[in-house]
A and B are shown apart, each in its own frame.
Chain A
Amino acid sequence: QQQVKQSPQSLIVQKGGISIINCAYENTAFDYFPWYQQFPGKGPALLIAIRPDVSEKKEGRFTISFNKSAKQFSLHIMDSQPGDSATYFCAASINNDMRFGAGTRLTVKP
């Protein structure tokens, strides 16, 4: 049973548009929610992360929105660029147990 559900599986956005990826989790004990970005042939790299006591975190064009009561969080990429084309993974963790979503393949068309 997947503890972190991610949607959509794939996403195509025009350059300059907003990319939105959603995740939902089951375990209310999770206390750390990172997003990772992965380019082909590379390992995932930490993009941005949030803790459940904060509802929103912004770093440049990337924003995490967190809804604790709904057990959902999302990644918004503003002014999406072709260089943002990659696979994005949400994750949730407690202690050494980090569970990842299945991933979203984002394509930004020029």
Chain B
Amino acid sequence: DAGITQSPRHKVTETGTPVTLRCHQTENHRYMYWYRQDPGHGLRLIHYSYGVKDTDKGEVSDGYSVSRSKTEDFLLTLESATSSQTSVYFCAISEVRAEYGYTFGSGTRLTVV
């Protein structure tokens, strides 16, 4: 997806280990979001950022933290991964909050064993 890159694309980790997922954008958009996608639940917002060092919690933020030290990078950290955090994680960006739509990355498939 042009302008937004997620890394890694796939990761398998063990329960209890810390994991960091990275979202990088080249669009200079103010707003960045982390979602998780699970069957039967659609996409659920974990955290979002409205500027450098400005972040807020979403619907399912427990067990996750985020950081944004530069406009282009938004990191999602699982401090101590659990099996319930096995999911596909999507980063999204938008220029004017939710209006005009989000641009999503290609996702990171995380498996916690």
Which residues between 30 and 52 of chain B lie within 8 Å of chain A, taking CB atoms? 31, 33, 40-45, 48, 50
| Residue of B with least CB distance to A94 | B98
Which of A32, A94, A100 is within 8 Å of B44, CB to CB? A100
A96 touches B56 (CB 8 A): yes
B31 touches A96 (CB 8 A): yes
The docked-state distance in angstroms from the alpha carbon of A6 to that of B42 is 10
The docked-state distance in angstroms from the alpha carbon of A102 to that of B97 is 22
B98 touches A32 (CB 8 A): yes
Number of interface residues of A (CB under 8 A): 25
Among the stretches B66-74, B78-86, B100-108, the one at the interface with A is B100-108
B41 touches A102 (CB 8 A): yes
What DSSP secondary structure best describes chain A's contact surface?
A: strand
B56 touches A45 (CB 8 A): no
For chain B, give the interface size range: 20 to 34
B99 touches A98 (CB 8 A): no
Which of B31, B33, B42, B102 is within 8 Å of A103, CB to CB? B42
A46 touches B97 (CB 8 A): no
Least Cβ–Cβ distance between B36 and chain A, in angstroms: 11
Which of A46, A94, A97 is within 8 Å of B101, CB to CB? A46
A95 touches B98 (CB 8 A): yes
Indicate whether B1 reaches chain A with its CB closer than 8 angstroms.
Answer: yes
Across-interface contacts of A4 in B (CB, < 8 A): 42
Mark A residues whose CB is within 8 Å of B. Answer: 2, 4, 6, 32, 34, 36, 41-46, 49, 89, 93-103
